[in-house]
């Protein structure tokens, strides 16, 4: 597939890109090469190839959800630099 200048301008507009004349010519050539490479992939026989669902062969190791002991409210706030009754006091972030 050949990318022409008008197609490149449309793509550049959608992607919010700007090219000078030299950059547009180079980008047109590069995009044409990329599309030619993708078209070559269509020639590969993938009949017996299973689709890839992940790029990693690792599996998540999940643990059982078990309720355990938790800090009491008072103990959780014990070392807080500043507190306001039941909450941590932090510097104001929003005006």
Tell me the percentage of the chain whose pLDDT exceeds 90.
29
Instruction: Quote the pLDDT of residue 32.
Output: 93
- In the three-class reduction of DSSP (H, G, I as helix; E, B as strand; rest coil), residue 91 is classed as coil
Nearest to 73 by CA among 88, 86, 90: 86
Instruction: Quote the pLDDT of residue 37.
Output: 92
Partnered with residue 87 across adjacent β-strands are 84
* 5-41, CATH topology level: Histone, subunit A (1.10.20)
In the numeric block, the tokens 């993708």 are attached to 38
pLDDT in tens, 26-36: 999 999 999 99
Going from N- to C-terminal start, the domains of the chain cover 5-41
pLDDT in tens, 25-69: 999 999 999 999 999 988 889 889 888 888 888 888 899 999 999
The answer to whether the predicted template modeling score (pTM) of the entire model surpasses 0.95 is: no
């Amino acid at each position: 597939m050949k990318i022409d200048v008008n197609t490149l301008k449309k793509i550049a507009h959608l992607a919010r890109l700007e090219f000078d004349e030299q950059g547009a010519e180079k980008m047109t050539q590069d995009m044409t090469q990329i599309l030619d490479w993708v078209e070559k992939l269509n020639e590969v026989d993938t009949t017996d190839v299973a689709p890839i669902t992940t790029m990693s062969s690792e599996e998540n190791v999940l643990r059982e959800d078990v309720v355990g002991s938790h800090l009491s409210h008072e103990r959780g706030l014990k070392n807080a630099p500043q507190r306001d009754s039941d909450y941590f006091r932090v510097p104001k972030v929003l005006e």
